[in-house]
Chains A and B, each alone.
Chain A
Amino acid sequence: GAVVSQHPSWVICKSGTSVKIECRSLDFQATTMFWYRQFPKQSLMLMATSNEGSKATYEQGVEKDKFLINHASLTLSTLTVTSAHPEDSSFYICSAKDRVNSPLHFGNGTRLTVT
């Protein structure tokens, strides 16, 4: 079945540094990937839609200069949290689908802790 790999699974960084999270579709090509953020005991909040070869579409309230998304190939999208602050600490999850009406396949998420 379709597999989405997300790396790293957890990361601790110091305030002011940048962190890159990778999302790969292992056995299918994904023209569109979605990045979600999940706060403790809360639902998933869509951050942005990542389109291969073009700029990402950000949801209202999400700072595009802070959360840089690059979708350079049909199997890889990256989310870079720039100049991270403690309030950026969260669980970030990427997802992709292999066909138009297929379910979303999710990565295992990245737990980011900014100290």
Chain B
Amino acid sequence: AQSVAQPEDQVNVAEGNPLTVKCTYSVSGNPYLFWYVQYPNRGLQFLLKYITGDNLVKGSYGFEAEFNKSQTSFHLKKPSALVSDSALYFCAVRGLQQAGTALIFGKGTTLSVSS
């Protein structure tokens, strides 16, 4: 069965500091991994995805994520956090060969960036 774990309910960082939001996954075969961000009472906005290729994926708003196959992780990172990055972040996965299936989401991590 496919699953995603986001071990932290909340991550607090000071503005200007680097941030990391953790995600580990379990999927049959090769994974297709995503990060989404959600602002209050809004849908999800796509940040970045990993299919194949470079393990470091760059996405929107200066975010990047590193795919680590041996650790089955796909942590979201940003070198310098902004207050406006404060939001709810979701990691999601599906099997790469399961094109018609929905994404499985982690429980979400609330990022709070203080000024």
A residues apposed to B, CB below 8 Å: 4, 6, 9-10, 32, 34, 36, 41-44, 46, 49, 91, 93, 95, 100-101, 103-109, 111
Q: Does A44 lie within 8 Å of B99, measured CB to CB? A: no
Q: How far is the CA of A10 from the CA of B41 in the complex (A)?
A: 9
B103 an interface residue at 8 Å Cβ cutoff?
yes
A36 CA / B41 CA spacing, docked (Å): 14
Chain B residues, Cβ within 8 Å of A91: 41
Whether the Cβ atoms of A43 and B108 lie closer than 8 Å is yes
B46–A100 touching, CB < 8 Å: no
CA distance A106 to B100 in the complex (A): 16
Pairwise interchain contact A42-B107, C-beta atoms closer than 8 A: yes
Q: Classify the interface of chain A: helix, strand, loop or mixed.
A: strand
Name the residue on B nearest A48 (C-beta): B102
Nearest Cβ distance between residue B83 and chain A, in whole angstroms?
21
Task: Rank and list the top 8 A-B pairs by shortest CB-CB distance, nearest first.
Answer: A106-B43, A43-B107, A106-B44, A108-B43, A34-B102, A103-B46, A44-B105, A100-B99
Contact surface of B with A, Cβ cutoff 8 Å: 32, 34, 36, 41-46, 49, 51, 90, 96, 99-108
Contact B108 A42 (CB under 8 A): yes
Please classify the interface of chain B as helix (H, G, I), strand (E, B), loop, or mixed, using the class held by over half of its residues. loop
- With A43-B106, A49-B102 already in contact, the answer to whether A103 and B43 are too (CB < 8 A) is no
Chain A residue nearest in CB terms to B43 = A106
The CA-CA distance from A104 to B33 in the complex, in Å, is 11
The CA of A17 and the CA of B70, in the complex, are separated in Å by 51
Q: Are A46 and B102 in contact (CB under 8 A)?
A: yes
Given contacts A9-B41, A93-B44, A103-B34, 14 further A-B contacts (CB under 8 A): A34-B103, A43-B106, A44-B105, A49-B101, A95-B44, A103-B46, A103-B49, A104-B44, A106-B44, A107-B43, A108-B43, A109-B41, A109-B42, A109-B43
In the bound complex, residues from chain B placing their C-beta under 8 Å from that of A104 are 34, 44, 46, 102-103
Q: A42-B107, A43-B105, A44-B90 are in contact. Are A101 and B43 (CB under 8 A)?
A: no
Contact A93 B49 (CB under 8 A): no
